[in-house]
Chains A and B, each alone.
Chain A
Amino acid sequence: MILNQKNFLPIYNLSKIFINSITRIDNVRSPQKIDNTLKAVHNSKPLSRLITSTTTPEPLTSPLPPPSHSLPPSKYPPNTPSFSTTTKEYLDRLRDQLHYYAVIEIRSQKFLITKNDLVIAHRLRDLDVGDEIKLNRVLELGSKDYTIKGKPLVSEAFYNIKATVVEQPKGPFIEIFKKKRRNRHRKRVTHKQTYTVLRISEVEVNKLI
């Protein structure tokens, strides 16, 4: 992780390589019911990790007062490295700045997103309208003065990015007509590209304990 701070203070180089663990579990789909609680939360492709419970953090029973966006240790992904105090301090600096952006990857398509954005991605066939996704491939996470660049991905324990599927439309009608004169050659190709439109519902930076 490299923490780049603008305004030319010295750049602190902490070279850490984060290796995302790859686990694949079959998705379980519940029938379509639009209630606004999270019903099935699963990560974006190509890594699929099913989380059947809601992802709102449960209140901590430790004597310390629980921070609002903290991730309880039991809910860290399995192979999370324990972080040094400098990492936590730098992440707190990023977290104190209130507006964040992230460069995410959905099926090898990259998007630069903030909260409340609409993302128009290629059609994701295993999703239904109303599903909520947790995004787990983030290449860069930043704010006004600080950014974290992943190598190649930022550790999942740092962020909590969720999106809702809003619709799955088809694009405009495209007609490709090829013709060669006086050769009886005519070809007509029609195409309507399929898309999935996601609304980024939250982009949050976690507080590491």
Chain B
Amino acid sequence: MLTKPLITIAKNGVGAFVFSCRKIEFNYCERSGSSRGMIEYLQNHLIPFAKENPQLEVVVTPRPSKHPLITGTYLNRKQKQVCVRNKKPDAIAEIVKLIRDNTGVTAKKRFKKPVISTTESIRGIWSPFHTRPHSI
């Protein structure tokens, strides 16, 4: 009777590493003032960033009469959206780096445990019948 899958579940980073962020989309408005920092970032900083990260799909789309927005899409199909209204290009660069370094996992409690493991305990679970030689 099978209790575990026969095929190992892929662990990103063990054999090969697959980048989690797939696509970053930049939305800006050509007219509004909240997009000024975003437009400067797109003109000066975006192309070097895209060249350094050939694994990312970078999309720039105007979105008129709305605040500027950065959307990151990840391998688990989740998205992370950050509104960058009235931000300077340096701050936008930090936010882009944050989006890029993230995976789409949204669980809040995953930072409670320092080590997340699926291997069973190597030394075995303690049993009172195996701690010392005894006879009944």
Contact = CB atoms under 8 A, between A and B. Distances in A.
Interface of A: 8, 31-34, 36, 99-101, 109, 111-121, 129-130, 142-144, 163-172, 193, 195, 198-202
A99 B110 CA distance: 26
8 contacts: A115-B14, A120-B110, A120-B111, A120-B113, A129-B101, A143-B123, A164-B14, A201-B13
Contacts of A121: 114
A99 B132 CA distance: 24
Q: Of residues B15, B17, B98, which shows the largest number of chain A Cβ atoms within 10 Å of its Cβ?
A: B17
Interface size class on chain B is 35 or more
Task: Summarize B's interface: helix, strand, loop or mixed.
Answer: loop
Contacts of A33: 54
Given A36-B16, A113-B115, A117-B115, A144 B123 contact: yes
Nearest to B121: A101
Q: Of residues A121, A165, A166, which shows the largest number of chain B Cβ atoms within 10 Å of its Cβ?
A: A166
Interface in B69-124: 98, 100-103, 105, 108, 110-111, 113-119, 122-124
A72 to B, nearest CB: 23
Contact of B52 (A31, A165, A166): A31
Contacts of A34: 17-19, 55
A24 B46 CA distance: 35
Given A34-B55, A120-B111, A169-B101, A129 B119 contact: no
Nearest to A33: B54
A167 B11 contact: no
Contact of B122 (A111, A114, A169, A170): A114
B111 A199 contact: no
B34 interface: no
Interface string B1-45: 000000000011111111110000000000000000000000000
Nearest to A167: B103
A118 B111 contact: no
Nearest to A192: B98
B53 interface: yes
